[in-house]
């Protein structure tokens, strides 16, 4: 037994042996290869008579193997395929995949043109398709399928056949987001306060069914706590209808009518089931904070987001989807107790569908108000959108409830270079309690266009006018007989979201606007914002302006709710890579119509592996008695979750805020903790491979058991999930580092990576007579049925992976592997790396 590493061992020989071992396991199992042993005898008489016949045949056993399926050089997915042993023309056993005609159809094969393929449920006869072939690369676990182009259907770009969709595994999952703050006042203007907020999103997956809940909990400084359930529903896909069925709490679509929260049932088209090339916006919340502020976002009366921002312009893009639509009401609570409110429209685009495409929704149940004092009245809604020739789309719908009825009809047109436009009219009849019956109309015009030549994008432009007698369903439902609540109803509403690229040297310009006025009320609601951004040699700067006028906010300067305010912000960021990597110095200026001007300098950056830690330090000064302000914040993305924290102070207060976000997944293999989950996720299973990173996911690494969760997974699409080999432990080898998953919406798909955990050894094997084990012999681990065969090279040397400190190996050689010997080995203690060892094969 040799313990030390021979410094004179030629590196070239080691590399040659490793390459030989890899080449050996990469042999094809479906075609005969011929190795000329005479080449090995050149300048090496000891190799004379070497038997390589076992490498000329695919000798693997039939059965089910999890393989990557590649069709015409395009990776499709990774799945379990059954392989059967068939005889080659020379009578040798070969492995061939057992594929059904339905599976071939999912690959685009015109199976109807080849009647000799066989019956459904049987293994297809590949010989029935001229020039088609199936090649099983056993060592790489790849199945290469090749079909002539004439035998394939023309498929839409991005098409993934429903037969390839994976419903995932049964699992329990919980997303959680916990945040809070403690504020200490420094003068009479600011009192001591504290608040806590929790966002919980539990779920259960059973087959194609998804049970989901979205609950929030909030406690204020007086200790008053409140639970709210945003929704609870069960959902599953209806594949033949390209639709989702939802039972429970949800919100109706907003493409024809305004979205209505309901409790009941809904069947609605799911555009994600269509290819990317056949698919017809989630809002980004932007604003400007004057001080260290708390941002609270509500939708349909429910708080769906709460966070803390530093002075200056902010942008919120990480809101969890709520499963519904509706404008976002944003409250920015400043450190001095003041508050600014504005509305972000949940922007909509013209209703267009491709020719022949029907998009529909059917909703029935009860109205689900956020106010517990409002009656849960029954409702029904149906919408349909159909694509006509010449770029036209016809759409309409009906709403029905006890006090309300409405019908909508509209048409859209794709005007090519001029953009897309749609127009519709809604006729409504309302019979609120304690009020006379009324009727009215709402007219709406929507426009969208991306001018590629000029870089202009009108992502959402809309105008709506309502007559004096028109009421929306939600307005009538929420009034619940209170006639005063219906006096202030919308008359005009206009929305605009615009972005303009000014060229490589001149930056970009973005803007948004929303304005409403009301019948029987002398008030308006308007929010306008515009920003300019540019960059040069890594230096970025931006200028932002926002104007909010919310005369209906129910407040005044006396109670520090700013119904009308204008704020201007300037931001400059300079990279400091010459001094500190991944670090930036920034300056910002904020000035408000209220008279405050604040200057802030900051240092921010990213640290740790994969930039998992984001940090920021700020120092500010303001005029008009604002004085100094400071802010510290950090955000760490780790294997088991995300931790946030911050400290801010100014002349009015000191605030400590904190947060913990993450996900818990319970599955057949145990419990896995991770960062916050998305709607559709993948469970990565690599047993024994702890601390391995996942490419494209910041801070995501396998836990101590080798499990983790990947969240950036798109439903009904091919997702390639790759493990970062640079983070593999020294004692772990992977057969495949990339797996392909195609989940359905809300699925938890499991991607399994075959790991080999143990020492890497270069072992020299000798027989009892002193001669080396023959060249080409195959060595396997006796206790591992799935052990790959390691091929013996020159002078009895073999490179092995995944070995325990001691065990038994079996070496086989000969025409039918009829000669063998056993190796009882014990590895010496050695540092990480390749261990050299000598053993006797008996």
Contacts of 540 (CB under 8 A, 6+ apart): 533, 534, 572, 573
What CA–CA distance (Å, rounded) separates 781 from 788? Answer: 8
The whole-number pLDDT of residue 52 equals 58
Please tell me the least confidently modeled range out of 146-160, 273-287, 433-447, 810-824. 273-287
What CA–CA distance (Å, rounded) separates 699 from 688? Answer: 19
What CA–CA distance (Å, rounded) separates 648 from 656? Answer: 7
Sheet holding 681-685, edge to edge: 707-710, 681-685, 748-752
Mean pLDDT over 262-268 rounds to 95
pLDDT tens, position by position, 334-369: 776 677 777 765 544 668 887 788 999 999 999 988
The whole-number pLDDT of residue 743 equals 94
More confident: 27 or 434? 434
Does 483 have pLDDT greater than 90?
no
Please tell me the least confidently modeled range out of 479-493, 572-586, 627-641, 708-722. 479-493
Average per-residue pLDDT in the chain? 81
φ, ψ at 439 (rounded to 5°): -145, 160
What CA–CA distance (Å, rounded) separates 828 from 1? Answer: 8
pTM of the shown model = 0.73
The whole-number pLDDT of residue 54 equals 53
More confident: 54 or 829? 829
The whole-number pLDDT of residue 155 equals 64
Does 572 have pLDDT greater than 90?
yes
More confident: 66 or 654? 654
Extract the runs of DSSP E, i.e. beta strands, from 376-434.
378-387, 392-401, 404-414, 420-430
Mean pLDDT over 671-697 rounds to 92
What the block records as the tokens of 784 is: 């591992």
Query: By CB neighbour count within 10 A (0-12 exposed, 13-18 middle, 19+ buried), where does 394 fall?
Result: middle
Q: Please list, residue by residue across 29-50, b when 16 or more beta carbons sit within 10 angstroms of its beta carbon and e when fewer do.
A: bbeeeeeeeeebeeeeeebeeb
What CA–CA distance (Å, rounded) separates 232 from 615? Answer: 36
CA 655 → CA 176, 310, 336, 730, distances in Å? 23, 12, 12, 46
CB 303, CB 227: distance < 8 Å:
no
Which of these, 667, 842, 690, 691, lies nearest to 770 by C-alpha position?
842
Which of these, 798, 759, 746, lies nearest to 776 by C-alpha position?
798
Mean pLDDT over 692-710 rounds to 91
What CA–CA distance (Å, rounded) separates 323 from 250? Answer: 7
Helices (H) and strands (E) in the chain, counts: 3, 51
Exposure of 437 in the CB half-sphere (CA atoms within 13 A):
6
Split at pLDDT 50, 70, 90, the class of 28 is very low
What CA–CA distance (Å, rounded) separates 240 from 144? Answer: 29
More confident: 391 or 280? 391
What CA–CA distance (Å, rounded) separates 745 from 539? Answer: 40
More confident: 34 or 253? 253
pLDDT tens, position by position, 743-768: 999 999 999 998 888 888 999 999 99
Contacts of 190 (CB under 8 A, 6+ apart): 183, 335, 336, 337, 652, 653
Residue with tokens 């090749």: 146
CB 810, CB 782: distance < 8 Å:
yes
According to DSSP, residue 98 is labeled: -
3-state secondary structure of 688: coil
Mean pLDDT over 213-223 rounds to 89
Please tell me the least confidently modeled range out of 113-122, 205-214, 669-678. 113-122
What is the Cα 573 distance to its own chain's centre?
Answer: 29
Does 692 have pLDDT greater than 90?
yes
Mean pLDDT over 502-523 rounds to 85
- Widest distance between CA atoms in the chain: 109
Reported residue count of the chain is 842
Does 507 have pLDDT greater than 80?
yes
Mean pLDDT over 102-115 rounds to 82
Split at pLDDT 50, 70, 90, the class of 808 is very high
What the block records as the tokens of 575 is: 């990279």
Does 450 have pLDDT greater than 50?
yes
Mean pLDDT over 688-713 rounds to 91
What CA–CA distance (Å, rounded) separates 705 from 690? Answer: 6
Going by DSSP bridges, is the β-strand pair 834-841/759-767 parallel, antiparallel, or unpaired?
parallel
What CA–CA distance (Å, rounded) separates 209 from 748? Answer: 11
CB 447, CB 458: distance < 8 Å:
yes
φ, ψ at 785 (rounded to 5°): -65, -30
Split at pLDDT 50, 70, 90, the class of 787 is low
The whole-number pLDDT of residue 478 equals 81
Does 562 have pLDDT greater than 90?
no
What CA–CA distance (Å, rounded) separates 347 from 196? Answer: 31
Mean pLDDT over 274-294 rounds to 66
More confident: 156 or 267? 267
Does 458 have pLDDT greater than 90?
no
Q: Which residues pair with 753 in a beta bridge?
A: none
- Residue-by-residue DSSP string for 29-50: SSS-----GGGGGTT-GGGTT-
Split at pLDDT 50, 70, 90, the class of 26 is very low
Q: What is the 3-state secondary structure (H, E, C) of 123-140?
A: CCCHHHCCCCEEEEECCC
Does 675 have pLDDT greater than 80?
yes
* pLDDT winner (highest mean) among 234-243, 281-290, 384-393, 750-759: 234-243
Q: Which residues pair with 229 in a beta bridge?
A: 215
3-state helix, strand, coil in the chain (%, to 5): 10, 55, 35
What CA–CA distance (Å, rounded) separates 795 from 9? Answer: 13
CB 376, CB 261: distance < 8 Å:
no
The whole-number pLDDT of residue 384 equals 96
The whole-number pLDDT of residue 60 equals 65
Mean pLDDT over 584-603 rounds to 87
More confident: 140 or 124? 124
pLDDT tens, position by position, 610-662: 888 999 999 988 887 778 889 999 999 999 999 999 999 988 889 999 999 99
Mean pLDDT over 233-242 rounds to 94
Does 21 have pLDDT greater than 50?
no
The whole-number pLDDT of residue 416 equals 66
């Amino acid at each position: 037994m040799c313990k030390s590493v021979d410094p004179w061992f030629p590196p070239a020989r080691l590399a040659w042996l490793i390459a030989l071992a890899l080449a050996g396991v990469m042999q094809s199992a479906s075609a005969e290869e011929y190795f000329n042993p005479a080449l090995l005898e050149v300048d090496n008489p000891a190799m004379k008579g070497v038997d390589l016949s076992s490498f000329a045949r695919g000798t693997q056993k039939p059965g089910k193997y999890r393989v990557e399926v590649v069709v015409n050089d395009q990776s499709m997915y990774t799945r379990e395929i059954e392989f059967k042993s068939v005889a080659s023309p020379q009578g040798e056993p070969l492995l061939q995949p057992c594929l059904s005609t339905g599976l071939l159809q999912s690959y685009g094969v015109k199976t109807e043109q080849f009647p000799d393929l066989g019956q459904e449920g049987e293994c297809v006869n590949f010989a029935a398709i001229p020039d088609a072939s199936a090649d099983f690369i056993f060592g790489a676990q790849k199945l290469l399928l090749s079909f002539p182009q004439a035998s394939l259907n023309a498929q839409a770009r991005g098409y993934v056949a429903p037969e390839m969709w994976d419903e995932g595994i049964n699992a329990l999952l919980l997303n959680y987001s916990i945040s809070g703050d403690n504020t200490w006042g420094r003068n009479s203007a600011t009192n001591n306060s504290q608040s806590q907020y929790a966002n919980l999103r539990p779920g259960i997956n059973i087959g194609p069914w998804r049970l989901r809940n979205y609950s929030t909990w909030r406690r204020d400084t007086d200790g008053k706590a409140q639970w709210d359930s945003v929704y609870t529903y069960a959902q599953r896909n209806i594949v033949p209808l390209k639709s989702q069925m939802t039972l429970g709490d949800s919100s109706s679509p907003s493409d024809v009518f305004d979205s209505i929260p309901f409790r009941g049932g809904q069947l609605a088209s799911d555009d994600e089931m269509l290819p990317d090339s056949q698919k017809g916006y989630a809002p980004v919340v932007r604003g400007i904070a004057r001080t260290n502020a708390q941002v609270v976002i509500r939708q349909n009366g429910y708080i769906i987001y709460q966070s803390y921002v530093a002075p200056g312009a902010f942008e919120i893009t990480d809101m969890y989807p709520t499963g519904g639509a509706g404008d976002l009401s944003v409250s920015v609570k400043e450190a001095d107790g003041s508050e600014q409110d504005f509305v972000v429209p949940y922007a909509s685009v013209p209703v267009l569908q491709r020719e022949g495409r029907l998009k529909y929704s059917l909703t029935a149940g009860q109205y689900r108000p956020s106010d517990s004092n409002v009656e849960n009245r029954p409702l029904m809604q149906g919408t349909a959108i159909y694509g006509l020739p010449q770029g036209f789309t016809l759409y309409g719908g009906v709403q029905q409830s006890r006090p309300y009825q409405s019908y909508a009809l509209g048409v859209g047109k794709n005007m090519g270079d001029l953009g897309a436009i749609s127009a519709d009219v809604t006729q409504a009849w309302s019979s609120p309690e304690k009020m006379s019956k009324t009727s009215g109309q709402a007219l709406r015009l929507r426009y969208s266009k991306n001018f590629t030549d000029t870089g202009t994008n009108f992502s959402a432009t809309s105008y709506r006018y309502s007559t004096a007698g028109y009421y929306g369903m939600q307005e009538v439902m929420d009034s619940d007989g209170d006639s005063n609540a219906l006096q202030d109803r919308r008359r005009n509403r206009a929305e605009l979201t615009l972005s303009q690229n000014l060229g490589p040297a001149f930056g970009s310009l973005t803007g948004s606007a929303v304005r409403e006025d009301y019948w029987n009320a002398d008030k308006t609601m308007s929010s306008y914002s515009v920003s300019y951004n540019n960059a040069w040699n890594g230096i970025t700067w931006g200028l932002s302006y926002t104007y909010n006028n919310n005369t209906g906010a129910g407040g005044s300067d006396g109670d520090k709710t700013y119904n009308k305010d204008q704020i201007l912000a300037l931001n400059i960021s300079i990279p400091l890579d010459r001094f500190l990597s991944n670090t930036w110095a920034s300056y910002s200026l904020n000035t408000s119509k209220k008279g405050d001007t604040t200057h802030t300098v900051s240092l921010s950056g990213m640290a740790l592996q994969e930039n998992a830690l984001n940090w920021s330090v700020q120092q500010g000064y303001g005029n008009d008695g604002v004085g100094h302000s400071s802010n510290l914040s950090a955000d760490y993305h780790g294997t088991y979750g995300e931790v946030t924290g911050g400290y801010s102070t100014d002349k009015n207060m000191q605030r400590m805020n904190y947060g913990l976000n993450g996900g818990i997944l319970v599955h057949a293999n145990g419990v896995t903790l991770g960062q916050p989950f998305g709607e559709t996720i993948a469970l990565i299973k690599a047993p024994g491979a702890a601390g391995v990173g996942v490419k494209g996911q910041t801070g995501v690494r396998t836990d101590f058991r080798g499990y983790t969760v990947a969240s950036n997974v798109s439903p009904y699409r091919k997702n390639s999930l790759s493990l970062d080999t640079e983070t593999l432990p020294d004692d772990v080898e992977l057969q495949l580092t990339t797996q392909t998953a195609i989940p359905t919406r809300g699925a938890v798909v499991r991607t399994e990576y075959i790991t080999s955990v143990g020492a890497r050894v270069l072992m020299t094997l000798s027989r009892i007579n002193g001669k080396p084990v023959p060249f080409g012999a195959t060595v396997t681990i006796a206790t591992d049925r799935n052990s790959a065969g390691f091929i013996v090279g020159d002078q009895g040397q073999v490179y092995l992976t995944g070995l325990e400190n001691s065990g038994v190996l079996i070496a086989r050689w000969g025409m039918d592997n009829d000669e063998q010997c056993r190796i009882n080995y014990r590895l010496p203690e050695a540092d990480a790396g390749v261990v050299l060892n000598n053993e006797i094969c008996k």
